[in-house]
């Protein structure tokens, strides 16, 4: 069992840190929020009052922070100075590929190993220990990270060198965002054409238009398996987080010269929805804007 410093105990990190503690690791937990710290303490972690403490005592540091700027500042201003020689640094946040690579090379320059390990799966998967991790880093670093990540997830996949985990994550989510937008507008067209939506689901879910957005996360209430649509679009994966990921994908497309016209259109749809939505609804709720 390892001593793990865990920084960022929010919606995702709280459950992940709790699962590491449950697996028998000593988890030294830090967050800026006192409430999050108290929850981590109740879940078997050891809350501390500064990030350096979480870094200083740990063999492994895990971060689960909102965005690239938080990750860069936590590592550059605290973790790099505090970490033990040879410590393994695992960032599970969803951030831009460039920041992930910069953090990894800054770590290497200090004799530390780093991987980017963003996740697929939402808050329920974080709490239930069923996340999928896509990992960017050397083969050695992956071998060290894998058993730790396995205590928080159901699948741990080596995507390639540093940054490859983030690249896989934003490519996947750009595809998810675009297929959800297309699924929503297709159901609305089917409705206008007089089709019964359950009947259309029964046909399309077995035909070539099928996708995860349709058959695992149908945006129409009462159609397909249980999804946020059946709960007033509460919970699930917030449209604002999808917009964040779409924007990361567009930034990466621009930087790499990839042409992504469908991705651009889908980003505009989520941007308009998020601007008008005060409730933080699930990303499949964009169907309500098409009604």
DSSP H or E stretch at residue 183: helix 164-192
Q: Does 64 bind ligand NAD (CB under 6 A)?
A: yes
Q: Does 91 bind ligand NAD (CB under 6 A)?
A: no
Contact flags string 207-246 toward ligand NAD, x per CB under 6 A? ------------------------------x---x--x--
Q: What is the DSSP secondary-structure string of 49-107?
A: SSHHHHHHT-SEEEE--SSHHHHHHHIIIIIHHHSPTT-EEEE-S---HHHHHHHHHHH
Min dist CB 31 to ligand NAD, Å, is 4
How is residue 289 written in tokens? 């804007």
* Sign of the alpha-carbon torsion through 193, 194, 195, 197: positive
Q: Does 74 bind ligand NAD (CB under 6 A)?
A: yes
* Sign of the alpha-carbon torsion through 8, 9, 13, 17: positive
Q: Does 129 bind ligand NAD (CB under 6 A)?
A: no
Residue 258 DSSP one-character state = -
- Which of 45, 48, 53, 93 contacts ligand NAD by CB under 6 A? 93
Round to whole Å and give the CA distance between 105 and 272: 37
Min dist CB 196 to ligand NAD, Å, is 32
- CB–CB of 162/136 below 8 Å? yes
**Residue nearer to ligand NAD on the CB measure, 77 or 275:** 77
SS (H, E, C) 119-134: EECCHHHHHHCCEEEE
Min dist CB 123 to ligand NAD, Å, is 5
| The one catalytic residue among 169, 206, 244, 254 | 169
- Which of 5, 55, 122, 219 contacts ligand NAD by CB under 6 A? 122
Min dist CB 291 to ligand NAD, Å, is 25
**Residue nearer to ligand NAD on the CB measure, 94 or 162:** 94
169 is catalytic: yes
Round to whole Å and give the CA distance between 243 and 274: 8
**Residue nearer to ligand NAD on the CB measure, 123 or 197:** 123
- Which of 32, 143, 203, 226 contacts ligand NAD by CB under 6 A? 32
Q: Which residues bind ligand NAD (CB under 6 A)?
A: 7-13, 30-33, 36, 51, 64-66, 70, 74, 93-94, 119, 122-123, 237, 241, 244
């Amino acid at each position: 069992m390892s001593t793990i410093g865990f920084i960022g105990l929010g919606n995702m990190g709280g459950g992940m840190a709790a699962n590491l503690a449950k697996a028998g690791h000593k988890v030294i937990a830090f967050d800026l929020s006192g409430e999050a710290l108290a929850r981590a303490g109740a879940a078997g972690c050891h809350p501390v009052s500064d990030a350096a403490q979480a870094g200083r005592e740990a063999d492994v540091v895990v971060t689960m922070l909102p965005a690239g700027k938080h990750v860069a500042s936590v590592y550059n201003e605290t973790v790099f100075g505090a970490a033990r020689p040879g410590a393994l640094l695992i960032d599970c946040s969803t951030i831009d590929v460039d920041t992930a690579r910069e953090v990894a090379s800054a770590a290497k320059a200090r004799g530390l190993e780093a991987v980017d390990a963003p996740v697929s799966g939402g808050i329920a998967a974080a709490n239930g220990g069923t996340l999928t991790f896509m990992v960017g880093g050397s083969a050695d670093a992956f071998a060290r990270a894998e058993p730790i990540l396995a205590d928080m997830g159901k699948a741990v996949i080596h995507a390639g060198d540093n940054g490859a985990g983030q690249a896989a994550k934003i490519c996947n989510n750009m595809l998810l965002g675009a297929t959800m937008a297309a699924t929503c507008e297709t159901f609305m067209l089917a409705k206008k054409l007089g089709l019964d939506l359950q009947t259309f689901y029964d046909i399309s879910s077995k035909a070539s238009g099928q996708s995860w957005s349709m058959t695992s996360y149908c945006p129409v209430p009462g159609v397909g398996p249980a999804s946020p649509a059946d709960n007033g679009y509460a919970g699930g994966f917030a449209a604002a987080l999808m917009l964040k990921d779409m924007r990361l994908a567009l930034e990466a497309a621009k930087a790499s010269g990839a042409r992504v016209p469908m991705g651009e259109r889908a980003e505009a749809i989520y941007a308009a929805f998020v601007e008008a939505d005060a409730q933080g609804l699930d990303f499949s709720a964009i169907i309500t804007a098409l009604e």
